[in-house]
């Protein structure tokens, strides 16, 4: 990955001197320049920058104001800024450090000192970036089912709580779909658990393919999956469930499972509804609908109690719902 430095100073001569110093040390791949804090901030907004060298005293916008605007934005919180100043008073340095400066270099600067301080800040930034990548990876692992790469049950429940509260606050719809693979035990017994895992992984791919960015798909346990569909009334949730049912039924497996037809049964529930007064009752209504789908022949979609439906050969068609 290329590294970029942004040099902000109103003196053309000083900028050229800084450029010679950092180029001679081969510290960066890209060099950006700005004449004052305002131009520097605009440049920062339009480019990925790894370190900023900024003069303290400049027209239009000085270094203090630049620091204040930069630290107000989350994406720049960890960006190192070395301030350049001819002032050596303690109060100025303290003020700059308190506003977010990473270090100070006094003008006229020593090239060796400037390069050394830049190296230190780049090394610290590299360590911080690696730590953030590690933390993000750990976060993803903590909320992800390792087999299907869908969200796990713990994260699902966190999202249900969040979306339920939002739907209650804004008066919107929140639909929940619970789906289960039909006769999954028979698949495991006939082909073995490794092949059963392939079925689970394939189902996860089918589930996620048609979801919106704000929908949540999770492995609820075993061969059971849950779809959380914000801003989705029951008619739309049914359409999503029915489409998914058909796609799973039509999926062509390869290898050992070639020719095997896998089907799913689905139960759909929606908030708000007279039958749903809590998250527990939302799950209970969807689970009861799933149970009816199993009882009524499998490979079908059933709605929560209260939905008026017309029975079909491989699912239901909604007429009205509460």
Helices 63-71 and 90-98: crossing angle in degrees, nearest 10, is 20
Extended strands (E) in the chain = 4-8, 30-34, 51-55, 81-85, 103-106, 174-181, 216-221, 224-230, 264-271, 301-303, 308-311, 316-320
Tokens of 70: 């930069």
Q: What single DSSP character describes residue 238?
A: H
Out of 223, 231, 236, 242, the active site residue is 223
- 74 catalytic per annotation: no
Q: 10 Å Cβ neighbour count for 140?
A: 12
Strands 264-271, 301-303: pairing is: parallel
Among the listed residues 181, 269, 251, the one whose alpha carbon sits nearest the alpha carbon of residue 209: 251
Catalytic residues: 223
């Amino acid at each position: 990955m290329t590294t970029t430095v942004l040099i902000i100073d109103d003196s053309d001569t000083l900028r050229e001197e800084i450029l010679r110093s950092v180029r001679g040390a081969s510290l960066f791949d890209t060099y950006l320049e700005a004449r004052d804090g305002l131009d520097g901030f605009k440049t920062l907004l339009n480019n990925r920058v790894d370190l900023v060298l900024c003069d303290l005293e400049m027209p239009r916008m000085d270094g203090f104001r630049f620091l204040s605007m930069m630290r107000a934005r989350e994406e720049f919180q960890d960006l190192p800024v070395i301030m350049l100043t001819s002032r050596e008073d303690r109060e100025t340095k303290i003020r700059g450090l308190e506003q977010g400066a990473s270090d100070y270099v006094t003008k006229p600067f020593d090239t060796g000192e400037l390069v050394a301080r830049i190296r230190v800040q780049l090394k610290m930034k590299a360590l911080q970036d690696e730590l953030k990548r590690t933390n993000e990876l750990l976060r993803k692992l903590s909320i992800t089912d390792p087999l299907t790469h869908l969200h796990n049950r713990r994260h699902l429940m966190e999202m249900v709580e969040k979306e339920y509260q939002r739907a209650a606050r804004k008066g919107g719809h929140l639909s929940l779909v619970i789906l289960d693979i039909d006769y999954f035990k028979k698949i495991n017994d006939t082909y073995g658990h490794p092949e059963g895992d392939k079925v689970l992984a394939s189902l996860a791919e089918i589930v996620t393919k048609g979801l919106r960015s704000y929908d949540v798909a999770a492995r609820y346990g075993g061969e059971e999956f849950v779809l959380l569909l914000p801003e989705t009334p029951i008619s739309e949730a049914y359409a999503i469930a029915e489409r998914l049912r058909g796609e799973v039924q039509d999926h062509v497996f390869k290898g050992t499972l070639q020719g095997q037809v896998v089907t799913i049964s689905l139960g759909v529930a929606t908030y708000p509804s007279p039958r749903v007064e809590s998250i527990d009752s939302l799950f209970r209504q969807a689970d009861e609908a799933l149970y009816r789908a199993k009882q009524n022949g499998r490979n079908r979609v059933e709605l929560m109690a209260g939905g008026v439906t017309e029975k079909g050969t491989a699912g239901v068609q909604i007429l009205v719902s509460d």
